[in-house]
Chains A and B, each alone.
Chain A
Amino acid sequence: MQPIALRTAIGALLLLGWGFGSGCSEFVQDIEPPIDEVQDNLIDESQIPYVIIGLQQQFSQAYGQAAMLGDLLSDQCFFDTRVQNATFPTYQNIDLGNPLRDNNSTTGAMLPLGRAYYISKDLLERVNRIGTFRNDAIRIQALYNAYLYGGLVRFVWASYYGIGPTQGGGFDEGGGPFVPSAQLYDRAVALWNEALKYAQNDLQRRTVYSLIARAHLYNGKYAEARAAAQQGLRQGDQPFLAQYSTQDTNPWYFGGGRGRTQIVVDTRFWQRYLVEDPKEAARLPVERAASAPGTTYYRQAKYPNRESALPIITWQENALMLAELELRLGGNTAQALALVNQVRAAYGLSPLSQVNLDVIYVERDKELFVQGQRLMDQRRFGRWHLPAGTWQYLEITERERLSNPNLGG
């Protein structure tokens, strides 16, 4: 080949190559976008209600899972392989108070909690970014929910999770330093105080006060707790619920329910409470679970379906908190008794004749059956049921420890 021809050929080839190159570049970008994911910049004011739902949905999963695992760790429920289809070693470890750092059930519960944190924070930033809303009701709703659920996220960390067997706490900032429970409760209260500014009706306001009361109570701040509880939910108020659906199932359904029974309830519920007073069935719904021959186990029937809602807080709990606080603050015992009996009467149960902290402890056990509060009560009342050294919190798992620089990750 002649040198000139070669040069021309190479030149032509390079030109052709460059042309093909830019063609390739355009060719590969010519794709259809994904059907179910959208870029962030597409979300404007009109999309805010969907972001709020995203927040509620993530939190309902976070709360349901933490509450269920909390009940498993507490003396209210337990795990036994004799129950048909009870196989998860992770559940067994939690039940024994030795949750282990690689417990993927615990990680599974932490993930939606973190996402709820992210969305609650994002909602606040988004509202700021948008500034003026065409429809201000959306802004108010966004702020109320951002603060309400932001507070709840801190509450869940403080109540259920821990970094040591008796060192409860979690994160105020995602990926930030570990914050002990006491500070997180305070932080939750601060956020709820912000939520109160955007509450759109009295029920919302009373709900938030009840939540504040509970955080103070668990934090040992009885006076503040009583003050809040007095403004909290009243008899007849609708409970504040974690909602589920067929496709976004109540964790109990497959954890300890009709979908699959791995977690069953302590024998005291069906051997003692229900025998002593069959009317307790109204607040202690249980049913027999299939198990090895010669054995008997009962599971909760409070959440019979995938979509059964799980109470986050109720007027009954508010009443029992008030009763307890009356006793703790050396207040009116008669008032405390009246509150306890008010709750009992709602189920057609006969009134009690006297009340003390032991009675409150038992009444809460029954009233808050499989609602995730027993773990906190056992710790508060100093009645831990497992050997010394066992975990009284769900251990924050490796997944967080290895990726959070503040935990040495």
Chain B
Amino acid sequence: MSKGLLTAFALLFFPLLGWAQEGTIRGRVLDRDTGEPLPGANVVLQGTTLGAAANLQGEYTISRVPPGTYTLVASFVGYRRAQEQVTVRAGETITVNFRLEVDVRGLEEVVVTGVASRTAKAIAPVSVSRLSTANLELSGQYTSLTQLVSGKIAGLQIVNPSGNLGGGFRFFMRSGGGLYGTGQPVIYVDGVRITNTEIGGFGVGGQQYSTLTGLNPEDIESIEVIKGAAGGALYGTSGQNGVILITTKRARGLSNAIQVDYRSTFGYNTQARKYDPNIYLTANAANALFRRGPIQDHALALQGTAGWTRYYTSLDLRREDGHLPSNSLFRRSFRANFDAYPSDRVSLKVNSFFSLIENDRPQNDNNIFGYLGNTLLTPRTWYFTDSAAIRAIENTFRENRFVGSIELTYAPMAGMELRGVMGYDGLDTRNDATYPPNFIYSGRVRGERDIFQLSRNQFNYDLSLRYSYPLFGMRATTIAGTQAFILTQRSFFVQKQNFGSELVRNIGSGLDFINANEAFTNAREAGLFLQQEFNYNDKLFFSGGFRWDFASAYGRDAGNIFYPRADFSVRLDQLGLLPGFFNLFNLFKARLAYGESGALPGTLDGQPLLWGPTPPSGYGVGLVVSRFGNTAIKPERTREIEGGIDFEFRGGYGLEFTYYRQFTTNSIVTFLLPPSQGTGVNSGGIPRNVGRIDAWGAEVAAYATPVRTRNVQATINASFAYQDNRVKSLGGASDIFDAFSFTVIKPGLRRNTFYVPRVKGPRYDAQGRFIGVELEENGQRFDHGSPIPIYTGSVALNVRLFRVLTITGNGRYALGHKVLNYTLAFTSRAGDFMNHREYLELRRKLGLSIGTNVPRSLYENIPVLTPGTEEYRQAAERFVRLMGDNPTVENYILPGDFFRLDELAISFDATSLLRRLPGAANLRSFVITAAGRNLFLTTRYNNPDPEVNFNGGITITNGQDFLTLPAPRVYTLSLRLGL
């Protein structure tokens, strides 16, 4: 597209007088169904450098066309290309109008199918999901990249473990990868492999800070998701969990030389769903914590072309307060993307992004300073810590982030392309925690100040050669390349207590030193890849290749690793061998792909036995065993096979279906040594390549455009995904439990399934008095279901009326999983918490002791039942189903099924209305959008949000709600102005 465009510009801006012996072609490019002009559409004469771009009215003119017969091709993003034979005679002007058909699923778009491989989507052999932000009503309502992607890609679940602004999250790609590692995909932004991790800093109870917070979702042009090893093999180890490729906005050579876009958004965050006063005695106190947190976002983007360069710059300011006090986010970001085409053979892309983040985080989760812990756990609120003291705690992350890349493409000869990319992601993060000295905090003597600093640099160097040439009547492509990656991370922290005035917060003025430490990581990865592709007229495609991979995390005795891959796809509708049935389709493609990838061992897993220092102790500083490594450790290996059928009926109805199976072997399992043997300080055991897990699933994406007329357009997208897995073996290692021993990784069961005892019933003494609970099989553990949804799906609707009003909605559902309401469990046990209304009433009926925290008025009128009576027995039967002690926690493992209306937006496009005003002819766009997020939720789960997790996103703990902040509801109103 680029060369044609450039030519078009050259022609537009330097018009010469038409010579008499040459002809002219002119016409309009319009949408086939709506008749709207398509400004920016390209019209070129195939095989020549002649062409033009359509103006705002969709008109184009190609002058100085030598007489002859040509193929005239019109193309535009999001539309199918159209072509026409024309004959031009000297001195004549001919008119050719095009009416382009919408390419609903971007079948003609080129998608990335692997490192350096790309094909038209119509023939892509792997399932690649492409999300183009042009199709979203992107109007400032997205705080983060994850909100943008969530629910829009079949087979990719994004779990936000809390409603914290800036909080971490977790990607669940397909069945979640293997047994080892974080299960997270590799993410590239414009060729830069970026840091996708969570940073804990000083705890706020369990939630962490996500390094993706710094990215500005408004900058994104498109997101491509390669979901598994079959597609990700050539990306090397870590491609196991898929690859996410983000492309940011670039100048789009429009007919205006400079294009300015401004957007302003206002809105607020608010509590979405209340805690139920029928459940929690103090629900109202918890609900009263929530507030309207204002949102403001202002963005300015400037783009244009100048000679053989193009530029895009944007500036974005976002200030947002959470729906709970102590939570806010302030992001300032700046982007400059620059493209140069110094010659036909060379193109240069420079991308740079800088952001400054300030993120205040609230205390919650498993934490005596938590807002929710102090309002939901006991009938007496602010029991653990005073409310003023909690509000006075400050915990702020500040991050400076630079993401930049230089990409040079050189085409030494026809069909050959050499591409080199250097990418850099540098982040410098500081976390400050302050407990002022004028309040009382457990464990802090006259206040505390903590400072944590982390700097992380990631470099990646990619070099690839791609050569396409005809072979045996096919188009053959050979791809070879190498990738290198370097990660360096340094961090340190210092903590002091005992401060004077709360007005002075310099850490130097703290009287008592508490702790200080530093950490350092350096890791490298490198690989070579080779791939051979054959493409028969975009009808038949097959390829094979491999990656040869190296990493510093492999044990020194492990060497290197090979990952092969192969794939195949066929356009059954194009082959012409098949019955007329296939004429019903625009597209009928079958595809099959196989690939292998892995998960890296931990940075030091491959080291021999290591000794590390003790903390400075009462005896001085000593050495202790710190890690039992394994010098033969190598990556876990996942083999994935995926097959699918994609078809599209004429008229814009289509379906993509994919089935996959993943077989993971050599999973790194830490052989926990018995504590008595002296397990390591850090790893707690010896890592070995012995685990196995199988996973499988299916993904369906369906789309339809039932109405598409000038005045009414409607599109519907629906997706459905099923995923499941079974742990096959841990190689003899003991079962792996989470910190509270609620979920397990155990052969024969799903990964991280809830695994706790089962309640049998009440036990009575001889007088019929309730004396406790009886567990099935003497308290043996049973499988209670997966915390990860087995079935997920989404429905998205986009309706455009009278060309000015657009309504979009996105809903998402998840089924077949469980969530532990540990908040309610914790307050349903003997002792003095007892904030669970029904539990308390039953305790009273059974004559059991009631904590002194509980106001007598709440229960003194409830009659105590007589042991032995039917009523008493019924109360006891019910009571054992409400006990929330650890052995009876089953009672609070609840169905987590939900449907959530994620987004609803209404846009009014006043552009054509305003353009009629004097002086406004150049107005490109004027759109007002009202949007809401998280507007509706239906679930049987009895806390406000079934998607939270008290321990953050990337953790072994899943689906455990323990005083965790639910996601907010968000309302925004924004104005978009384009000149």
Q: Tell me whether A399 and B672 are in contact in the complex, defined as CB-CB below 8 angstroms, given that A21-B560, A174-B678 are known contacts.
A: yes
Q: Which of A36, A37, A52 is within 8 Å of B622, CB to CB?
A: A52
Interface segment, one of A65-73, A78-86, A192-200, A210-218 = A78-86
The answer to whether the Cβ of B526 comes within 8 Å of any Cβ in the partner chain is yes
Q: Is the beta-carbon distance between A24 and B527 smaller than 8 angstroms?
A: yes
Q: Is the beta-carbon distance between A292 and B852 smaller than 8 angstroms?
A: yes
**Residues of A close to B552: CB separation below 8 A:** 28-29, 31
Q: Is the beta-carbon distance between B676 and A171 smaller than 8 angstroms?
A: yes
- Size of the chain B interface, CB-CB below 8 angstroms: 88
**Residues of B close to A332: CB separation below 8 A:** none
B632 to chain A, nearest CB (A): 16
Taken together as a complex, chains A and B put the C-alpha atoms of A295 and B237 apart, in Å, by 59
A303 to chain B, nearest CB (A): 12
The answer to whether the Cβ of B548 comes within 8 Å of any Cβ in the partner chain is yes
User: A21, A92, A110, A246 — which one has the most chain B CB atoms within 10 A of its CB?
Assistant: A246
Interface segment, one of A100-108, A275-283, A339-347 = A100-108
The answer to whether the Cβ of B14 comes within 8 Å of any Cβ in the partner chain is no
B827 to chain A, nearest CB (A): 11
Interface segment, one of A113-121, A320-328, A376-384 = A113-121
Q: Which of B443, B526, B616, B677 is within 8 Å of A24, CB to CB?
A: B526
Interface segment, one of B80-88, B623-631, B707-715 = B623-631
Interface segment, one of A55-63, A229-237, A265-273, A361-369 = A55-63
B73 to chain A, nearest CB (A): 30
Q: Is the beta-carbon distance between A403 and B619 smaller than 8 angstroms?
A: no
Q: Is the beta-carbon distance between A114 and B679 smaller than 8 angstroms?
A: yes
Q: Tell me the chain B residues, 439-454 only, with Cβ under 8 Å from chain A.
A: 442-443, 445
Q: Is the beta-carbon distance between A119 and B679 smaller than 8 angstroms?
A: no
Q: Is the beta-carbon distance between A57 and B471 smaller than 8 angstroms?
A: no
B448 to chain A, nearest CB (A): 12
The answer to whether the Cβ of B674 comes within 8 Å of any Cβ in the partner chain is yes
27 contacts between A and B (CB under 8 A): A13-B530, A17-B548, A24-B528, A28-B526, A28-B554, A35-B518, A36-B613, A37-B604, A52-B622, A56-B619, A56-B622, A80-B832, A81-B853, A85-B384, A87-B384, A92-B831, A100-B886, A104-B740, A110-B675, A114-B678, A170-B676, A176-B676, A245-B617, A246-B515, A292-B380, A400-B674, A403-B675
Q: Tell me the chain A residues, 1-48 only, with Cβ under 8 Å from chain B.
A: 1, 13, 17, 20-21, 23-25, 27-32, 34-40, 43, 47
**Residues of A close to B550: CB separation below 8 A:** 21, 24-25, 27-28
Taken together as a complex, chains A and B put the C-alpha atoms of A119 and B609 apart, in Å, by 13
**Residues of B close to A403: CB separation below 8 A:** 671-675, 685, 733-734
Q: Tell me the chain B residues, 370-404 only, with Cβ under 8 Å from chain A.
A: 378, 380, 383-384
Q: Is the beta-carbon distance between B832 and A254 smaller than 8 angstroms?
A: no
Q: Is the beta-carbon distance between B734 and A114 smaller than 8 angstroms?
A: no
Q: Which of B378, B622, B673, B829 is within 8 Å of A50, CB to CB?
A: B622
**Residues of A close to B378: CB separation below 8 A:** 81
Q: Tell me whether A60 and B676 are in contact in the complex, defined as CB-CB below 8 angstroms, given that A37-B604, A52-B622, A82-B852 are known contacts.
A: no
The answer to whether the Cβ of A259 comes within 8 Å of any Cβ in the partner chain is yes
- Additional pairs, 4, CB under 8 Å, beyond known A21-B550, A403-B733: A17-B528, A29-B552, A82-B832, A175-B674
The answer to whether the Cβ of A287 comes within 8 Å of any Cβ in the partner chain is no
Q: Tell me whether A254 and B443 are in contact in the complex, defined as CB-CB below 8 angstroms, given that A24-B484, A82-B851 are known contacts.
A: yes
Q: Is the beta-carbon distance between B469 and A119 smaller than 8 angstroms?
A: no
Q: Is the beta-carbon distance between A39 and B618 smaller than 8 angstroms?
A: no
Q: Is the beta-carbon distance between A39 and B610 smaller than 8 angstroms?
A: yes
Q: Is the beta-carbon distance between B520 and A247 smaller than 8 angstroms?
A: no
Q: Is the beta-carbon distance between B673 and A43 smaller than 8 angstroms?
A: no
Taken together as a complex, chains A and B put the C-alpha atoms of A31 and B623 apart, in Å, by 24
Taken together as a complex, chains A and B put the C-alpha atoms of A1 and B530 apart, in Å, by 19
Taken together as a complex, chains A and B put the C-alpha atoms of A159 and B615 apart, in Å, by 27
Q: Which of B384, B527, B826 is within 8 Å of A84, CB to CB?
A: B384
User: B621, B623, B829 — which one has the most chain A CB atoms within 10 A of its CB?
Assistant: B623
Q: Which of A20, A28, A36, A89 is within 8 Å of B885, CB to CB?
A: A89
The answer to whether the Cβ of A125 comes within 8 Å of any Cβ in the partner chain is no
Q: Is the beta-carbon distance between B832 and A248 smaller than 8 angstroms?
A: no
The answer to whether the Cβ of B284 comes within 8 Å of any Cβ in the partner chain is no
Q: Is the beta-carbon distance between B832 and A117 smaller than 8 angstroms?
A: no
Q: Tell me the chain B residues, 729-776 only, with Cβ under 8 Å from chain A.
A: 733-735, 737, 739-741
The answer to whether the Cβ of B519 comes within 8 Å of any Cβ in the partner chain is yes
Taken together as a complex, chains A and B put the C-alpha atoms of A310 and B109 apart, in Å, by 72
**Residues of B close to A190: CB separation below 8 A:** none
The answer to whether the Cβ of A316 comes within 8 Å of any Cβ in the partner chain is no
Binary interface profile of B, 463-477, with partner A (CB < 8 Å = 1, else 0)? 000000101000000
The answer to whether the Cβ of A260 comes within 8 Å of any Cβ in the partner chain is yes
The answer to whether the Cβ of A224 comes within 8 Å of any Cβ in the partner chain is no
Q: Is the beta-carbon distance between B482 and A24 smaller than 8 angstroms?
A: yes
- Size of the chain A interface, CB-CB below 8 angstroms: 88
Q: Is the beta-carbon distance between B617 and A244 smaller than 8 angstroms?
A: yes
A308 to chain B, nearest CB (A): 10
Q: Tell me whether A404 and B886 are in contact in the complex, defined as CB-CB below 8 angstroms, given that A82-B851, A85-B384 are known contacts.
A: no
Q: Is the beta-carbon distance between A85 and B442 smaller than 8 angstroms?
A: yes
**Residues of B close to A176: CB separation below 8 A:** 676
List of 5 A-B pairs having minimum Cβ-Cβ separation, nearest first? A243-B618, A118-B678, A53-B622, A174-B677, A54-B622
Q: Is the beta-carbon distance between B513 and A409 smaller than 8 angstroms?
A: no
Q: Is the beta-carbon distance between B618 and A57 smaller than 8 angstroms?
A: yes
Q: Is the beta-carbon distance between B679 and A111 smaller than 8 angstroms?
A: yes
The answer to whether the Cβ of B972 comes within 8 Å of any Cβ in the partner chain is no
Q: Is the beta-carbon distance between B383 and A53 smaller than 8 angstroms?
A: no
Q: Tell me whether A409 and B734 are in contact in the complex, defined as CB-CB below 8 angstroms, given that A53-B620, A85-B384 are known contacts.
A: yes
Q: Tell me the chain B residues, 678-732 only, with Cβ under 8 Å from chain A.
A: 678-679, 681, 685
Nearest B residue to A107, CB-CB: B675
The answer to whether the Cβ of A330 comes within 8 Å of any Cβ in the partner chain is no
Q: Is the beta-carbon distance between A247 and B616 smaller than 8 angstroms?
A: yes
Taken together as a complex, chains A and B put the C-alpha atoms of A33 and B524 apart, in Å, by 12
The answer to whether the Cβ of B819 comes within 8 Å of any Cβ in the partner chain is no
The answer to whether the Cβ of A309 comes within 8 Å of any Cβ in the partner chain is yes
**Residues of B close to A307: CB separation below 8 A:** 618
The answer to whether the Cβ of B30 comes within 8 Å of any Cβ in the partner chain is no
A400 to chain B, nearest CB (A): 5
**Residues of B close to A31: CB separation below 8 A:** 522-524, 552
Q: Is the beta-carbon distance between A32 and B829 smaller than 8 angstroms?
A: no
Q: Is the beta-carbon distance between A81 and B831 smaller than 8 angstroms?
A: yes
Q: Tell me whether A38 and B524 are in contact in the complex, defined as CB-CB below 8 angstroms, given that A175-B674, A246-B512, A260-B443 are known contacts.
A: no
**Residues of B close to A35: CB separation below 8 A:** 518-520
**Residues of B close to A245: CB separation below 8 A:** 615-618
The answer to whether the Cβ of B432 comes within 8 Å of any Cβ in the partner chain is no
Q: Is the beta-carbon distance between A294 and B626 smaller than 8 angstroms?
A: no
Q: Tell me the chain B residues, 596-651 only, with Cβ under 8 Å from chain A.
A: 604, 607-627
Q: Tell me the chain A residues, 204-224 only, with Cβ under 8 Å from chain B.
A: none
Binary interface profile of B, 511-541, with partner A (CB < 8 Å = 1, else 0)? 0111100111111111110100000000000
Taken together as a complex, chains A and B put the C-alpha atoms of A292 and B382 apart, in Å, by 11
Binary interface profile of A, 394-406, with partner B (CB < 8 Å = 1, else 0)? 0001111011100
Q: Which of B469, B554, B622 is within 8 Å of A57, CB to CB?
A: B622
Q: Tell me the chain A residues, 168-206 only, with Cβ under 8 Å from chain B.
A: 170-171, 174-176
Q: Is the beta-carbon distance between A404 and B676 smaller than 8 angstroms?
A: yes
B690 to chain A, nearest CB (A): 14
The answer to whether the Cβ of A51 comes within 8 Å of any Cβ in the partner chain is yes
Taken together as a complex, chains A and B put the C-alpha atoms of A259 and B885 apart, in Å, by 26
Q: Is the beta-carbon distance between A60 and B520 smaller than 8 angstroms?
A: no
Nearest A residue to B613, CB-CB: A36
The answer to whether the Cβ of B368 comes within 8 Å of any Cβ in the partner chain is yes
Q: Which of A115, A118, A248, A260 is within 8 Å of B617, CB to CB?
A: A248
Q: Is the beta-carbon distance between B611 and A53 smaller than 8 angstroms?
A: no
The answer to whether the Cβ of B204 comes within 8 Å of any Cβ in the partner chain is no
Q: Is the beta-carbon distance between B608 and A114 smaller than 8 angstroms?
A: no
Q: Tell me whether A37 and B735 are in contact in the complex, defined as CB-CB below 8 angstroms, given that A30-B524, A115-B679 are known contacts.
A: no
Q: Is the beta-carbon distance between A28 and B611 smaller than 8 angstroms?
A: no
Q: Is the beta-carbon distance between B676 and A102 smaller than 8 angstroms?
A: no
B378 to chain A, nearest CB (A): 8
**Residues of B close to A398: CB separation below 8 A:** 737, 741
